[in-house]
Amino acid sequence: MSLDHLVQKTKQQFTVKFNQAPRWLAAAPGRVNVIGEHTDYNDGFVLPMAIENCTLAAAAPASNGAMRLRLCSGEKPEMVEIPLNGKVARGEPAWANYVRGVIAGFQDLGIQLPALDIFIESDVPLGGGLSSSASLEVATATLLEVVTSRQLDPVQKALLCQKAEHEYAGMPCGIMDQFISVMGKAGHLLLLDCRSRQTELVPMNDPKLSFLIVNTNVKHELTGGGYARRREQCYEAARVLGVPMLRDATLAQLEAAKDRLDPVVYRRARHVIGEIERTTQAAREIKAGNWAVVGQLMYASHDSLRDDYEVSCPELDTVVELARNIGPSGGVIGCRMTGGGFGGCAVALVEAARVEQLTRQITQGYVKRTGIQPSCFVSRPANGARVIAS
Ligand code: ADP
Ligand code: MG
């Protein structure tokens, strides 16, 4: 859906729900991570981009003057009431906690909110690995900034949204999703140092290139705490290597310590150390326009996630294999799984002119091999959060 279309839909729905037109409108994008997976909790680098799919948040002053917010989403049409007399607390329905947490963040800053009617609309798929949750938080924060005429510093704003996800939605996420949703810029990726929180916009505006995001539409349940276990293995590797975090280790150091490491822990560390290197290298190669190398780095990232980190799954491997087989002559430059793994999305760097044909080819191949219908999204690196009506 185009942003204009989404804006029109939001205005219409708002008016139906609240019997008045919205006064303020803000948008925040979903995201896809181009490279740098499972590096964030090792103090490493990630290289995401904002996508064209957005969450919109619209508001108007509530007409009856009561000190509460009324909140509604196109995805979850029940009306939610949020009292404003005192600190906002978690509650039901669960989806509203993302919004409650952001409101609480504004309250913590001593910012007084007026009684409001709020409506949320989105074309970021919910739970599809494209970070609808961060886009909801950041759209809400951007809306509250314009409502209260208080502009937050971008880092402070992203951290406020992350805190909402931690404390109100109960999800201990890293900083990537909120940072890219706040700071994304059209025609750029964002190189984010998860240790220092420093960011660098990496230009990527070649009109011949685009990204094809393929949602496998599977989510395998993990037994045995797959995610927590991997974090522990990373910290164990760092201990044996004598470094604070795997960010501080080199592949040479790892090789030298191989005999002292459990073979599984060794492979986990090899992924992380290699992936951090690939991520900073990818940023350099993108700046230089060395697309073939960027593609190779994406495939190397996938292979490492599949073999060393063991977080891929047959469906993700199928998408990447289909893309690899199509290859440069068919318009695919590189492809990898993206996100935590065990399902979710793969991202491919492709020639923009061939994107429709590639979508068909990969969809057909995937359905044939798995019997599952994938969802495909095409996006160029898009803008971060913005105010649409003030
Ligand atoms: P992802 O961020 O990858 O899409 P999450 O599980 O982190 O997946 O977040 C999805 C949850 O965020 C949804 O289940 C819902 O609670 C909330 N959410 C996101 N967008 C919306 C929306 N537009 N309306 C209502 N709830 C939303
Ligand atoms: Mg999320």
pLDDT in tens, 323-367: 999 999 999 999 999 999 999 999 999 999 999 999 999 999 999
Report whether residue 173 contacts ligand 1, using a CB cutoff of 6 Å. Answer: no
User: 267 burial class (0-12, 13-18, 19+ CB within 10 angstroms)?
Assistant: middle
Cβ of 101 less than 6 Å from ligand 1: no
The alpha-carbon radius of gyration of the chain (Å, integer) is: 21
At residue 269, does pLDDT exceed 90?
yes
Distance CA 285, CA 272 (A): 20
CA dist 187 and 87 (Å) reads 40
Q: How many residues does the chain have?
A: 390
206 belongs to the catalytic site: no
135: which 2 tokens? 């886009």
Instruction: Return the residue whose CA atom lies nearest to atom 20 of ligand 1.
Output: 132
Residue 126 in contact with ligand 1 by CB distance below 6 A: yes
Cα distance between residue 198 and residue 314, in whole Å:
35
pLDDT at residue 66 in the model: 77
Tokens 């957005």 found at: 54
- Whose CA is closest to atom 10 on ligand 1? 127
Ligand 1 atom at minimal distance to the Cα of residue 339: 3
Q: Is the CB of 128 under 6 A from ligand 1?
A: yes
Q: Is the Cβ–Cβ distance between 54 and 3 less than 8 Å?
A: yes
* 347 three-state secondary structure: strand
> If you measure from the C-alpha of residue 357 to the centroid of ligand 1, how many angstroms do you get, rounded to a whole number?
30
Token pair recorded at residue 276? 């951090």
Please name the residue whose Cα sits nearest to atom 11 of ligand 1.
133
- Distance of alpha carbon 315 from alpha carbon 217, whole angstroms: 9
Residue whose CA is at the smallest distance from ligand 1 atom 6: 127
- CB-CB contact of 165 with 133 (8 Å): yes
Q: Give the nearest ligand 1 atom to 129 CA.
A: 3
The H or E element spanning position 33 is strand 24-35
pLDDT in tens, 224-238: 678 889 999 999 999
Any atom of ligand 1 within 6 Å of the Cβ of 120 = yes
Tokens found for residue 78:
């029940």
**Residue minimizing CA distance to atom 5 of ligand 1:** 127
Q: How many CB atoms lie within 10 A of CB 80?
A: 18
Mean of all residue pLDDT scores within the chain = 96
Ordered alpha helix ranges (H), the chain: 3-18, 97-108, 132-148, 154-167, 176-183, 226-241, 251-256, 263-288, 291-307, 314-326, 355-370
Q: Evaluate the omega torsion of the peptide bond into residue 93 and state whether it is cis, within 30 degrees of 0.
A: yes
Q: Does ligand 1 come within 6 angstroms of the Cβ of 338?
A: no
For ligand 1, whether the C-beta of 136 sits within 6 Å is yes
Q: How far, in Å, from the CA of 236 to the mean position of ligand 1?
A: 33
Q: Are 70 and 81 in contact (CB under 8 A)?
A: yes
The verdict on the CB of residue 106 being under 6 Å from ligand 1 is no
Residue where the block lists tokens 């009109």: 207
How far, in Å, from the CA of 87 to the mean position of ligand 2? 24
Centre a 10 Å sphere on the Cβ of residue 285 and count the other Cβ atoms it contains. Answer: 18
pLDDT digits (tens, 9 = 90+) for 277-301: 999 999 999 999 999 999 999 999 9
Strand, helix or coil for residue 191: strand
Looking at the CA of residue 131, tell me the nearest atom of ligand 1: 2
What integer pLDDT is reported at residue 179 of this predicted model? Answer: 98
136 or 222: which leads in pLDDT: 136
Give the separation between CA 61 and CA 20, rounded to whole angstroms.
10
State how far the alpha carbon of 236 is from the alpha carbons of 43, 194, 262, 275, 306, in Å. Answer: 15, 19, 10, 18, 21
pLDDT at 223 over 70: no
Q: Closest ligand 1 atom, CA of 130?
A: 3
When pLDDT is averaged across residues 174-192 and rounded to a whole number, the result is: 97
Max avg pLDDT among 64-68, 74-78, 235-239:
235-239
Which of 58, 29, 88 is CA-nearest to residue 382?
29
Non-local (6+) Cβ contacts of 191 within 8 A are: 45, 46, 47, 199, 200, 201, 202, 279, 280, 283
- Give residue 161 CA to ligand 2 midpoint distance, Å: 11
Among residues of the chain, what percentage have pLDDT more than 70? 98
CA of 328 relative to ligand 2 center, distance in Å: 32
The residues, ordered by sequence, that sit 6+ positions from 182 with a Cβ below 8 Å of its Cβ are 28, 138, 154, 157, 158, 161, 384, 385
CA–centroid distance, 131 to ligand 1, in Å, is: 7
Domains detected in the chain: 3-203+382-389 (3.30.230.10)
42 Cβ inside 6 Å of ligand 1: no
Q: How many CB atoms lie within 10 A of CB 55?
A: 33
Q: pTM of whole model > 0.85? A: yes
Task: For residues 117-138, give the mean pLDDT.
Answer: 95
**Closest ligand (CA of 58):** 1
pLDDT value at residue 224:
60
Catalytic residue among 117, 177, 206, 262: 177
Half-sphere exposure of 258 (CA within 13 A, CB side): 6
Joined together, the tokens standing for residue 42 give 């090792």
Query: Is pLDDT at 65 greater than 80 in this prediction?
Result: no
